[in-house]
Structure 1
């Protein structure tokens, strides 16, 4: 349901009418020291903020023509309060805040930890609409000891905000459980091209600068935000059922990349044959001239390192399967987002599953061979990174270290075991029902278990308990001969140090 701002009486009158007996209590609370908050995520306890639900973000960035200088930015957040608030905590940790307004009135603010704590003139009653406007800078120079945020390319910038780095770029409620609509405006000097999530809604050229505006048609988690600024070419083609497909490539590499890009429409058709219609308004690949060490499923515009496609050492089948991995994330992780980061296995396990299935069907790389190898390593992965649904916390200063093998092939192994347990027809029905039932929403491991039981008509509690939370890998249904090799205790202790 789209939440639209509505007319209301001035804040002071409303607060006076609704909170006459509570204002003094709130003001006393407001005098207490500001503290960083969080939504209680097991892996990122200070990520996200309670007390409100964001409906939309309006982000405006002005690029100065250098990827080493801060961008001027304005972030506008429309949200519902879910409880009475005398303060509003936003996640923001890598920029200078010049001013904050709440409902058009100046508000005081301070930085505490990685939170921007805003104090409006009057307390905000629960169930009310609020608009927060923050004038700030957005620094593309990496934060010391932090992963993610802006990625500096050879000719501009891109974003890589997973898992907890969107707030290094703009103030937000930086947790996937609070998805919202986005409008993104980027102003850059002539000669640059800017592209962002969603579809373009306008291009304005004034005095040597161009402003591009993009808007999403589906809610999006902050970690999936993407903005590309560079000397780029945007290539257009048509996908299944008229889907607009746009790719963003460094202009000088356009011809070399085209043979890869033209594969995308058929890959979308292949995914749709497995799980149903593509869930968003557009798709495409952003080819970045940057060394990130990963590819990223930013919503409607997946981020790839250009070298993946130009390095001759990578086999053709491997590159294509990685393209499908990020495409599969548009369903698993983007449309259906994790409610908590411990549910990450649902994202990466499914993307790895369809990556492997594509390689099996298109390149004769048997799924069973890959899964047997994963089974052999599974106990080692569980010891190093935790079971698939209870991954160990990230290493200090390396938040992306939660992306360990056991949430990739280890989680795909869970799906393989499930298919063996309930049979292919039930498994295929589960996959389609999962992305349909939770489209544009968030879901948990418990939701997946419940749906699997519903579709299969079986009690699967013990199965999932062992496969998702067990320290040891259970026997593989249908393959009693498969063995997993554990790490010797002495080796485990040494590695832990």
Structure 2
């Protein structure tokens, strides 16, 4: 059954969403006779992502896999939420599926589509501060989204998910914005020859005839973009991490032996991250090695997604692959536990993950952090010109939702953290990192929150420093390195920067 109603989150959470909701509240209260329209929470980069008027507490997702990854899955999504306004209608983000029926609080409701929204009209008004439960019977189509950036990923033997940044709603109806995190329950039914795994911990396996239903629940809130479901002919490997942390990895059964040396590195990598930023924030961790070509790796919560061939047919050096593993691991703190308030805050995710990726390579593989940052400084002006400053990234290119993942929010944002460490000192910087993930655990945070905390830890107002580094068109002088210079942008360099592909990680 769906999770029972929980006590309301503190008003602190609602206030955190206020800025995003303000832009949409005027259209939130739809008259019953008005045309259905797509809504959004006012995100600068994804204007129609998310929906105003409610705060999701939990998702209960059921998928039935049809023994082939080129046909729709039968699905039921139940959303339990608190209303934050009086609502005659409820907009859900949903596309690439057929809706069979909708119920609101156990009663049939009318529904239609508008853009990539499913617009639900219950038979009764939903008053502000009321608990409501919406159940949608639908299909979830892995083929309809094949030309999209994300959603279901078809693997050699089944399916996996890659929902960042604007693709959770290609799989299930949801409030598809990281500002509205919720608890998740997954129920996946598949033929007995398959193994199904999802975020969180297993709570049941029920075999009936030729099929098995696997149930998983998260123990911490999660953004929709971080949901993961793997269905395939897989083996789940178990080991122990620091302090008894359960570590589970999901690998193609045929590649178990070849992948084991890489999987065995995870516990020590977790211990290394804990030494830098504090306790691991979730109930479990592990990696999902998918037989798919995605072009990226992804920090889905508690179960990071990797391309299997990256490790079985390596074209990159060992130290680099290990640092990429740490990149996705560090996202469990930065991006998953502490999620971005808006997509313009994505530099906080990727800048920190790139920072710890580079720091790990510095400490474990003698790849100097200083050299990487000096090289980033030389390219930074070009990255800012092509992709925008780190905290003001340019909008995604039409039809390319993941094109916000440019070098300016990876090494460009890590360069900001290097400058901050130069500015306030190593000890203050390390205190800031630990305090940041502790204060905002299981929540969302913004660039302004980071600036405030850095100023408090650093003992002085750093707003001017951050204004230049995060929003300036040109890269400011590097504290302690007056000799560092940015490259002049030639026409060929500008063209190359515009066509540069995102790094092979998210």
State the TM bucket, normalised to the shorter chain.
over 0.9
Corresponding residue of 2:49:
47
Distance 1:117 1:406, change over 3 A: same
Is residue 145–residue 397 contact of structure 1 (8 Å, CA) maintained in 2? no
User: Which among 175, 182, 185 is matched to residue 183 of structure 1?
Assistant: 185
Residue 4 of structure 1: CA displacement?
2.5
- The equivalences for 1:309-388 within 5 A come to 309-388=311-390
Distance 1:491 1:414, change over 3 A: closer
Distance 1:58 1:164, change over 3 A: same
Is residue 182–residue 216 contact of structure 1 (8 Å, CA) maintained in 2? yes
Residue 488 of structure 1: CA displacement?
3.7
Corresponding residue of 2:140:
138
Corresponding residue of 2:214:
212
Residue 123 of structure 1: CA displacement?
1.0
- Segments of structure 1 that go 5 or more residues without pairing to the other structure are 7-25
Is residue 346–residue 445 contact of structure 1 (8 Å, CA) maintained in 2? yes
Q: Runs in 1 of length 4+ with deviation above 3 angstroms?
A: 488-497
User: Which among 280, 295, 299 is matched to residue 297 of structure 2?
Assistant: 295
Distance 1:493 1:259, change over 3 A: closer
- The equivalences for 1:96-115 within 5 A come to 96-115=98-117
Cα deviation, 1:113-143, whole Å, max 9, x if unaligned, reads: 0000000001110000000000000001142
Corresponding residue of 2:149:
147
Corresponding residue of 2:439:
437
Residue 494 of structure 1: CA displacement?
10
Residue 486 of structure 1: CA displacement?
3.4
Is residue 38–residue 48 contact of structure 2 (8 Å, CA) maintained in 1? yes
Corresponding residue of 1:80:
82
- Please give the TM-score of this superposition, normalised by the length of structure 2: 0.92
Residue 308 of structure 1: CA displacement?
1.1
SS in 2 for 1:320: helix
Corresponding residue of 1:485:
487
Corresponding residue of 1:198:
200
Distance 1:84 1:28, change over 3 A: closer
Q: Distance in 2 between matches of 1:144 and 1:181?
A: 28
User: Which among 384, 397, 400 is matched to residue 398 of structure 1?
Assistant: 400
Q: Distance in 2 between matches of 1:186 and 1:492?
A: 47
- Please give the TM-score of this superposition, normalised by the length of structure 1: 0.94
Distance 1:349 1:119, change over 3 A: same
Q: Distance in 1 between matches of 2:382 and 2:493?
A: 11
Distance 1:494 1:161, change over 3 A: closer
Structure with the greater alpha carbon radius of gyration? 1
Q: Distance in 2 between matches of 1:354 and 1:28?
A: 46
In the comparison of the two structures, how many residue pairs are matched? 478
Is residue 244–residue 281 contact of structure 1 (8 Å, CA) maintained in 2? yes
Residue 490 of structure 1: CA displacement?
8.9
SS in 1 for 2:464: helix
Q: Distance in 1 between matches of 2:408 and 2:488?
A: 14
Root-mean-square deviation (CA, aligned residues, Å) is 1.8
- Segments of structure 2 that go 5 or more residues without pairing to the other structure are 9-27, 500-506
Residue 495 of structure 1: CA displacement?
8.1
Residue 224 of structure 1: CA displacement?
0.1
Is residue 179–residue 222 contact of structure 1 (8 Å, CA) maintained in 2? yes
SS in 1 for 2:87: coil
Is residue 291–residue 307 contact of structure 2 (8 Å, CA) maintained in 1? yes
Residue 153 of structure 1: CA displacement?
0.3
Is residue 85–residue 124 contact of structure 1 (8 Å, CA) maintained in 2? yes
Residue 313 of structure 1: CA displacement?
2.1
